[in-house]
Amino acid sequence: MKKEQQLAHLILEKVGGRDNIIQLDHCMTRIRLSIKDESLVNIKELKQVPGVMGVVEDDTLQIVVGPGTVNKVADEISKETGLKVGEVSADPGLTAKDRQAALKKKNSTPIKNGLRRIGNIFIPLIPALVASGILNGGANFAVNAGVDPTNTIIAILLLLGGGVFAFLGILVGWNTAKEFGGTPALGAIAGIIIINPALANITLFGEELVPGRGGLIAVILAAWFMAVVERFARRFVPNSIDIILTPLIAVLVVGFTTLIVIQPVGGWLSAGITDGINFILDIGGVVAGAVLAGFFLPLVMVGLHHGLTPIHMEFINSIGITPILTILAMGGAGQVGAAIAVFVKTKNTRLRTTIKGALPVGFLGIGEPLLYGVTLPLGRPFVTACMGAAVGGAFQALTDTAARGIGVSGLSLIPLIDDNKFLMYFLGLVIAYTFGFIFTYLFGFKESMADNLDS
């Protein structure tokens, strides 16, 4: 039996069997299961399964198995359950009320649910953003090093790397409509309306329209409104002409509303967010950098960090760079330092094995395996990791580093650093590693914490 197949089998065993799963999904590091009967899930034994780096109980049961592995394990679970990724079980004994109860936890709040929805919009786009960002960053790195930008290979790399960012509004519109129960293609049209270069040829109420105004915030608002109008129209349009009339009504209503209301509002919100964060960084300086970096891991802990993606993209859309990504990336770096300190001090074989497996991807900016497998379960190392991150974040704010793309952090972010400040960003990583290590080694870990993990 293959490693991933065995891991999938054990996971199913600990969550109550294949018939106890309503829905199967995954992100970059986590298997996400919607559970029918939560009383059948043995969380303690699930955490002890070899290969499981952590378990998060949220609106879905999230099982951290790490990048790469997550795709293979999801495929194996899909084979055993017969559920495709994203598909909801057709179990006749499961009512709509049961599904809703299984998908919603008591601690849900409108803010958390809103951020989760934003995460659901952007998480599927992360592989494309990562690949494009690295290609774009590598090509620009070569240009900065003196390579002729008209070189055919460089031009092709810039084409491959820049495409997703040029047309990202279409993908975001598609996912937004899908998330809010609308037709994805109509959501894509909402994105096209926002970014269409033809807007520059139109004057409305004496004002020239601007392609891209409002950025992804306007796209999300327009695609959401498209889903709302579509669902509303479908309630009244006869079935015989629904396929013709409903999308026509939705596109006309949303199209004009977008140009008259949504784009101006989106532009105002976008400017407010970017100007506000820039003001905080300008005024707060190193303190602001320390606070932002120090509190980033708690966002990752509850899976809400993807809600920041539109902010990064708005910065890139408006000024070409995001000045907060390099600061927030220190969260993962502080955690790497903390994990190394734990590895040096502990004699617990299981904990050392977990750290060895999670450290390589931790250096590359994927911190969830370390978070759920090491620092968070131990408790105090999570706090000292945040402290190390704060020191690194302060340094990044002091040196004004910024990134030209998103989707990666850690060492992987180096090619995307703006203004040739690659060394400054790397020094910030080293500082966060170092202080995360020092704080954890001195007062963040003792062997009894590791012993408690096995109890």
Active site residue 27: yes
420 to 138, 141, 144, 170, 402: CA distances (angstroms)? 12, 8, 8, 31, 10
**pLDDT tens-digit map of 271-327:** 888 888 888 888 888 999 999 999 999 888 766 677 788 888 888 888 889 999 999
Using an 8 Å Cβ cutoff, are 445 and 426 in contact? no
8 to 5, 58, 64, 351, 429: CA distances (angstroms)? 5, 20, 12, 21, 35
Least confident of 88-92, 171-175, 385-389: 88-92
Taking 70 as the threshold, does the pLDDT of residue 453 lie above it?
A: no
DSSP 3-state assignment of 417? strand
**pLDDT tens-digit map of 163-179:** 888 899 999 999 999 99
Residue-level pLDDT at 1: 62
Q: In the sheet that 61-64 helps form, which strands lie side by side, from edge to edge?
A: 21-26, 30-35, 61-64, 54-57
pLDDT band at 89, cuts 50/70/90? low
Residue 421 identity: K
Closest CA relative to residue 362, chosen from 53, 74, 52, 25 = 53
Residue 345 identity: K
Residue-level pLDDT at 398: 95
Catalytic one among 27, 28, 53, 390? 27
Residue-level pLDDT at 291: 94
**pLDDT tens-digit map of 324-371:** 999 999 999 999 999 999 999 999 888 898 899 889 989 988 888 899
